[in-house]
Structure formats: C-alpha cells, structure tokens
Amino acid sequence: MFSKVNSLGLLGFGAELVEVEIDLSNGLPRFDIVGLPSSSVAESKNRVRSVIKNMKLTFPISRITVNLAPADFRKEGTIYDLPILIAVLLASRQLSANVSSCAFVGEISLNGDTRHINGILPMTIRAREMGIRNLYIPFDNLNEAKIISGINIYPVKSVQQLFRHFQGEEIILPFYSNIMTNEELLELTMANRSPSTQSYNDFSDVVGQQMAKRALEIAAAGGHNVLLTGPPGVGKSMLAKCVPSILPDMSLEEIIETSSIYSVAGKLTPTDPLMISRPFRSPHHTMSISAMTGGGFKARPGEVSFANNGVLFMDEIPLFQKSVLESLRQPLEDREITVSRNGATSKYPANFMLVASMNPCPCGYFNDPTHVCTCTEKSRLNYKSRLSGPLIDRIDLIVTVEQIECEKLLNSKPSNEVETSAQIKERVNKTREIQRKRFQNTSCTCNAEMSRPMIKSYCKLSIDAENALVLAYERLHLSARVSDKILRVARTIADLDNSNEIQKTHILEAIGYREI
C-alpha cells in the first residue's frame, strides 16, 4: 500500500516542496526513512509510532519505507513528524482524505500535541508559490504564518484534532488573509507581542552634538553607513543606539524578508511572531568570522543577515579581528552574502546600515584638550590601519564627536524642549518617500543602494556643485568609489532639502563627512 503527502523543507533562507512517500510492504517489520534525512528526521519514526499507539489506532506491522523526495538536499529538523504520521495513516487505510492540494509541517509530542517549529514563514511562502491551497501547521505558528496572503492556513493543536477534522467530526477553521497594509499588520501582531519589546534611546536625551545628529539623520534618510570617532565618554554609543528611533517604518516586504531570516534561525516565538521593528544588532568585538557572516554545518545566517533592513552597530570597531572586518566588504557592497560550508551553500540578504564607532588612538585622547595622549605615533598608525582603505571607502559618512563642556551639560535644555526622535523620523520618512517614488520601477530602495548608472541618472549637479566635486576629487585624491559615495550622500542631503538638483552646499556638506 502506498500514499503520498506534501510537506516542505528548509533550504538555507528559503524552502522547497518535499513529497513524503510511504510504502507498506510484506516482510519483517521495520521502519526506514530515506531521502537524505538528518538524525532528527530519522527519530520521527519513534514519535510517530508512539502517537499512533496513544491514539488507540493500529501501527502497521509491516515493512514501512518513507522516502523524502527530492533526495538531492539534506532534510533537517522535526518538521516531518506530522506529514509522516498522516502518510502512515493514509497508507494503512485508517484515514481516508484527499490531501493532494494540502501540505503538512510540524513536530509532534508523544501524546499527539503539536509544537512550534522554525522556518514556517519561508515555508508558507513556498507553499503558496507551488500552488498548495491548504497548509496544516502547528497552532503556535499561526501568528507567524498568517501574514502571508493567498493560502488557507489550518492551525492544528493536536493530531487527534486533525484526525477528527478529516473524519468530519471537528472542523478546523482555516485562516485566510488578503494583502495587508502596515497598519493592519501592526494591529494583527501587537495583540500577541510580548511586553518586553525593545525600546531605543531618544535624540532628545543627547546634549549638543548637532553635527553628529545631522550626520545620523542623513544616514537614516538615505541608508548610509556611518563611522563615529571621538574620545571615550563623548556619547558615541548613545548616539548609535538612538539611530533605530529615527529609521523609517518597515514596508510589508521588508517585514516578511527580515522575519523569514529570524524564522529560519528559530528566533521568533508565539509571543513575538514577526519582526515589525527594524533590527539593531550590536555584536561583541570577540566574535568569530562565522558568527558575523554566517556559517556552521548548516550554513546558518550571521549578524550581517540578522541586521538586514536594520542597523549593525560595531562599537570600537578596530578591536574586531582583521578577518572579521574584511569579511564585511562584500556584504556592504552587494547587500547579500553567500555562505558556503561542507554541508550546504546558502545565500542570505545582508542589506544593513553599518554604524561604527572608534577612538582616535588606542588610549582615546589624541588631540583632546583635557587629557594627555600616551600613545606613540606608531601605535596610533597601527590602530587606524586596522581599518583598511577598501573598508573605509565603503563607509559613507565619517563624523568626529566632540567633547561637551561641563557647563553645557549642566545648563542643557529639558528633553521636552529639544528636538525628539519622532520629529527627526518625520523628516526621514518624507525623504524615504521621495526615494521610494524615484526608485519604484527598480530594485533599489534608497539612495545608498544606487548603482553607477543610477547615480548618473538621478544625481543631477548644478554647475557650481560639479566644479566643487571636481576640485575635491583632484585635491583630496579621491577614489572612484568615494566619489560615488559623496554623490549618494549629496543626493540624500538634497532630498532632505526637497531639492531636485544637487547644489554646491549639498556637495560641500557631503565632502565634509569624509575625513578620518
């Protein structure tokens, strides 16, 4: 006797349709799973056997062969428990149902309850793309899966409930969603969101530092990378942690893409089912290169992917390993990364905004009027040389954060009289809307992503601006990449001024953010 049930399997960042084929044949009783299963998949037979017996059904006394097709990629995780069990019941004629338009994924406990699984979001997307009309998933994964429109989602609490559903005794009502707006999505997810949602610093709490605030506003408005330099204690880290509070709201596509990464990595829970806020990742400087870029046996995503559509903050960036810093060059340029390991090769998005900080020297007090620098010239050069030229070229804005006088700190205005992050974010959103309309027929989403042909098309310079750029190119010996960076930043500054043409003041301000 033979049966076939549709399921899905994770393959890097995405998912693939998997056919669970089962054959019951004569011979000595045994239970074999083939099709390149991992050890966790092979253990499914023990859970399936226990559930069938606990349901007071008959476990087939025959040779059971399970094939997970196609067999050209490794099947990982416990997501095949539910489809294998359904296939066994169909093959043994203990369940009668037409499941040709259905797919099943889910882990089951020994008493038949379903459990939360990883990667349900990309699997739901793939099921819809493959024409699957009905997807049966664990109940705890519903809040994550129901963001995807155009497919019936059946939340299953237990195998017993699913069995009664197919018997017509207890119908499970499907969830079907249309395409949602951001407001509808927020309303849908906030009711199930845990109270420990991360909150960010507000720019109204930062005293002074107008130049740094201005640079970070430009960076947020255009998606540019930023490096903050200055002595210890001037507020570099505080400024960086304010950046998420002014980033533009995420679009539905960005929410789905970012949530898919966290879903694959198992970082979503029933109480936090989606990433509706832009991620802010702040890894420690002792991290390895695989932790930054992704890796391990299963080629899992790294910090550059977890920061996708958000911020990657690298505090004291020269302290990171040289290999880790150099590994950032490719994702900063291509905004994606390919992770190749012995077991798998996966491509992950890495479209993040880099915010880094550093001291001017190892002791931190070079050129500081209130402290004496104890570093030698050689140690200062060695410290700065940890950031290679190609890496510096990929940073759009370099800002010096100055020490604030004690008198200004004591006599600073109350936070309610200072410009807040909400006010800055309003300008950022307006600027991003300009860019959204500009790039609506392209794959580009912000000025920082413009290719060279796009720069030529969208960065129209006035005569004075062009002359200023040519003069800076010759005197400062700028590379072609840096010249493009200046034009992208100038385009963002012009957008903040609601100017179609880039003026001389925009170019000069953009050039002013290139010193280190």
Q: pLDDT of 30-56, one tens digit each? A: 899 998 888 888 889 999 999 999 998
Cis amide prior to 70 (ω within 30 degrees):
yes
**Token pair recorded at residue 431:** 């600027």
Cβ neighbours for 216, distance < 8 A, ≥ 6 positions apart: 226, 239, 242, 243, 246, 355
- For residue 153, the cross-strand partners are 135, 175
| One-letter amino acid of 456 | K
pLDDT in tens, 183-215: 666 565 555 454 444 557 888 888 778 889 999
Q: Measure the CA–CA gap between 328 and 482, rounded to whole angstroms.
A: 17
**Token pair recorded at residue 207:** 């005293």
The predicted pLDDT at position 209 comes to: 82
Q: Measure the CA–CA gap between 167 and 157, rounded to whole angstroms.
A: 16
Q: Measure the CA–CA gap between 123 and 515, rounded to whole angstroms.
A: 47
User: How many Cβ atoms are within 10 Å of 341's Cβ, its own excluded?
Assistant: 15
| Residue reference for tokens 């237990």 | 158
The helix, strand and coil proportions of the chain, stated in percent and rounded to the nearest 5, come to 40, 20, 40
> In the chain, what are the domain boundaries?
2-167, 203-426, 450-516
The predicted pLDDT at position 13 comes to: 82
**Token pair recorded at residue 1:** 């006797």
The predicted pLDDT at position 83 comes to: 95
The predicted pLDDT at position 411 comes to: 62
The predicted pLDDT at position 89 comes to: 93
Query: Is the CATH number 1.10.3470 carried by domain 450-516?
Result: no
Q: What's the gap between Cα 497 and its chain centre?
A: 30
Are 231 and 364 in contact by the 8 Å Cβ rule? The answer is yes
Homologous superfamily of the 203-426 domain (CATH):
P-loop containing nucleotide triphosphate hydrolases (3.40.50.300)
CATH node for 2-167: 3.30.230.10
> Coil, helix or strand for 65?
strand
> Coil, helix or strand for 49?
helix
The predicted pLDDT at position 270 comes to: 80
The predicted pLDDT at position 132 comes to: 94
User: Which residues of the chain are modeled with pLDDT < 70?
Assistant: 178-199, 297-298, 341-344, 405-417, 515-516
Are 493 and 397 in contact by the 8 Å Cβ rule? The answer is no
pTM: 0.85
